[in-house]
Amino acid sequence: MKLSVIIVAYDMQREVPRSLQSLMPSYQLDGESLDYEVIVIDNGSPEPLALSAEDYPGLKLRLIRIDEASASPCAALNLAASHATGEILCIMIDGAHAVTPGVFRWAMRAFSAFDQPVVATRYFYLGPGEQPETIRQGYDKAKEDGLLSSIDWPQDGYRLFEIGTPLRNGADKITWFNRMFESNCLFLHRYLYLQLGGADEAFDLPGGGFVNLDLYKRAVESEGSALVQLVGEGSFHQLHGGTTTNSSDNERQQRLDAFRAQYLDLRGHQQLVSDRPLNFLGHLPTQASKIHLRRLASPAEPENTGGAQ
């Protein structure tokens, strides 16, 4: 098998079906010709995740549940990787992400162009701004449902750019060429994942702390790896009550401080961003995908993410 997609889910009955819809062979460009599987691992959800393969025709879907689960997703991710049969892994540590239709096409092209690529998909929020801010202004799941309905999703997956906002991370301007330091749709060879020891289970804080950043950095800095950032494809975060995204400012800051302290304790430094050379691969499929044309909002003002840029 060419590809195994791993989705870690906790209490995401609303969100995971959309994530899976975006991974369907009928949704993904070249999906019908790609030999791949999707492994959803339910990391101890209070109500077991209910999925039926019959709802996703043509998708090779497996559901694994951990009853006595850690608050961190690391063990779940590693367990799913041990069940994976693909030579390439796609790691989606937060199961509440829907992706654009060319993610598989362009990621697979990277694996044809480079010997050992680590392929990163840019992170977007659904909604008119970054969710930690917009939820304080009334953005909620009902409004998100309405936005998705307004673009008739999933009929044209690239319309997600019309209702989404790129993760800013304090940047003054966002373009496709901004350096990333994590991805929630990350592709790497399975042998590299195993060689790295997978997700480090010492990251045992709820949500995993900075484990996603750590895995990303270790992968791109491993010998022989080439970092490839996809252009014109995105991974869109849905509201789901996440550990840091959907919490109050004080709670979020406290958690981030704890994450940083743990990372320092485990790695002996706080250099979260790799300085490895960047490679770019992709396209600009729609006007709304031209994120470099957007006017960034002030912290108190939601960003205008309309398609007519």
pLDDT in tens, 108-130: 999 999 999 999 999 999 999 99
pLDDT in tens, 225-268: 999 999 999 999 999 976 565 556 788 889 999 999 999 999 99
b/e for 263-275, b at 16 or more Cβ within 10 A?
Answer: beeebeeeebebe
Q: Where are the beta strands (DSSP E) in 15-87?
A: 36-43, 61-66
Alpha-carbon separation of residue 132 from 167, 208, 239 (angstroms): 11, 18, 10
SS3 262: helix
Give the integer Cα–Cα distance in Å for 309 and 304.
9
CA angle 212, 274, 264 (to 5 degrees): 60
pTM score, two decimals?
Answer: 0.93
DSSP state of 261: H
State phi, psi for 295 to the nearest 5 degrees.
-90, 120
Q: Over 60: is that where the pLDDT of 300 sits? A: no
Per-residue pLDDT at 171 = 81
Q: Are 236 and 97 in contact (CB under 8 A)?
A: yes
Indicate the pLDDT class of residue 306, thresholds 50, 70 and 90: very low
Domain ranges of the chain: 3-293
Indicate the pLDDT class of residue 304, thresholds 50, 70 and 90: very low
Closest CA to 100 of 29, 9, 182: 29
Helix axes 211-220, 249-267, angle to 10 degrees: 40
Give the integer Cα–Cα distance in Å for 184 and 182.
7
Indicate the pLDDT class of residue 294, thresholds 50, 70 and 90: confident
Q: Looking at domain 3-293, which of 3.90.550.10, 3.90.1150.10, 3.30.360.10, 3.40.50.12160 is its CATH number?
A: 3.90.550.10
For the segment 81-89, the average pLDDT, to the nearest whole number, is 98
User: How high is the mean pLDDT of the chain?
Assistant: 93
